[in-house]
Amino acid sequence: MTVTVNLYSAEQEKTLIDFLEKMHFDFQSDQEDFSLTDDQKAEILRRDNDFVSGKTTARNWDDIKRDLKSVYR
50-62, pLDDT tens digit by residue?
999 999 888 888 9
Q: Are 47 and 56 in contact (CB under 8 A)?
A: yes
Q: How far apart, in Å, do the first and last CA atoms of the chain sit?
A: 33
Of 27, 20, 21, 24, the closest CA to residue 1 belongs to 27
Question: Is the pLDDT reported for residue 72 higher than 80?
Answer: no
Mean pLDDT of 10-26: 93
